[in-house]
Amino acid sequence: KETLDKGLEKTSTSFLDKLGKAVAGKSKVDEDVLDNLEEVLVSSDVGVTTTLKVIDRIEARVAKDKYLGTDELNKILREEIAGLLSETNSGNATEFEIPKQDAPYVIMVVGVNGVGKTTTIGKLAHQFKSAGKTVVLGAADTFRAAAIDQLQIWADRTGVPLVRQEMGSDPASVAFDTLESAVTKNADVVIIDTAGRLHNKVNLMNELTKVKRVMQKVIPDAPHEVLLVLDGSTGQNAFEQAKQFTAATEVTSLAVTKLDGTAKGGVVIGISDQFQIPVKYIGVGEGIEDLQVFNKIEFVDSFFK
């Protein structure tokens, strides 16, 4: 919780500051205040679609209650944002957990280079291992030698085996080997890194489809999770990447990184709402412990702190 508060400090301070200015000198929520509020939400990277949804809801409450004091706006906004997050983020998990099943639980990780994909995989491996699970990593981003080396560093740091091949080898082949190795070891979790090039949507789609198909030769219902990693500090770029990846493959969960050091934390609310995909993890620093299971209640608490 403390790490989360600290991680969201910039977002929260900037948001509450803008919110304060939006209602300055006003005692009731009127058209002007709603216009200002709209600007506050958009400039906090909540995204236009989600902002309009929130404004509509608050307008409806004003209409229903006839009068809404600006002193209540904070509380009401908080309720509406929590409500929105609840639509896609059902649970209130605080622990790193994976479903119990016979075959290894396979997480395929996607996202463009630089967003923190490797770091997130390393942090996840650490958390699952600390929770007593056996973990196997797969370096299926074979396009960049640096990607394989980086993952090896995390594998060594966390003491988790990494299945890898030469740079330039077939990503699907690496994924196949990784799953076979995990099955042989009777592992609990497999985390597969994939290439982060976005230069060509068709290529990306073909590559991810092939990796999935080949995985299914080993574990028929793999992957059990497709985790898209987004860099929260890029604001609207993260929306664009979410659009491209959800068009290329079925994304089932999100990790939003680098929320520390940015005032753009509102992306978490907007992306989850707009794409109707749960945020499962948030990155709040570079360290091995700086990944948190997304908990919507704690998130909203920190946001409005």
Would the annotation count 115 as a binding residue? yes
Kindly state whether residue 260 participates in binding ligand GDP, applying the rule CB under 6 A: yes
Would the annotation count 61 as a binding residue? no
Cβ contact 281:120 at 8 Å? yes
Binding segment (CB under 6 A) for ligand GDP, from list 20-28, 115-123, 219-227, 294-302: 115-123
Under rule CB under 6 A, how many of the chain's residues touch ligand GDP? 18
Minimum Å gap between C-beta 103 and ligand GDP is 27
For ligand GDP, give the closer residue by CB, 50 or 257. 257
For ligand GDP, give the closer residue by CB, 10 or 129. 10
Other CB atoms within a 10 A radius of the CB of residue 27 amount to: 11
One residue of 20, 91, 114, 159 binding ligand GDP per CB under 6 A: 114
One residue of 53, 126, 212, 258 binding ligand GDP per CB under 6 A: 258
List own/partner pairs for 54-63 with CB under 8 A and 24 or more apart.
Answer: 54/80, 54/81, 54/84, 57/83, 58/29, 58/34, 59/34, 62/29, 62/34
Kindly state whether residue 3 participates in binding ligand GDP, applying the rule CB under 6 A: no
Helices (H) and strands (E) in the chain, counts: 12, 8
Kindly state whether residue 283 participates in binding ligand GDP, applying the rule CB under 6 A: yes
Would the annotation count 260 as a binding residue? yes
Q: Which residue has the tokens 């990184």?
A: 257
Would the annotation count 113 as a binding residue? yes
Q: Determine the Cα–Cα distance for residues 82 and 67; give it in Å rounded to an integer.
A: 22
Q: Determine the Cα–Cα distance for residues 257 and 234; give it in Å rounded to an integer.
A: 10
DSSP 8-state class, residue 234: G
Kindly state whether residue 287 participates in binding ligand GDP, applying the rule CB under 6 A: no
Q: Determine the Cα–Cα distance for residues 67 and 62; give it in Å rounded to an integer.
A: 6
One residue of 257, 272, 292, 295 binding ligand GDP per CB under 6 A: 257
Binding segment (CB under 6 A) for ligand GDP, from list 33-41, 114-122, 157-165, 177-185: 114-122
Q: Determine the Cα–Cα distance for residues 251 and 245; give it in Å rounded to an integer.
A: 7
> What Cα–Cα distance (Å) separates residue 192 from each residue in 31, 131, 189?
50, 19, 10
> Angle of helix 9-23 relative to helix 73-88, nearest 10 degrees?
130
Would the annotation count 194 as a binding residue? yes
Kindly state whether residue 47 participates in binding ligand GDP, applying the rule CB under 6 A: no
Binding residues for GTP: 111-118, 193-197, 257-260
Residues that bind ligand GDP (CB under 6 A): 113-119, 150, 196, 257-258, 260-261, 283-286, 290
Annotated binding site: 111-118, 193-197, 257-260
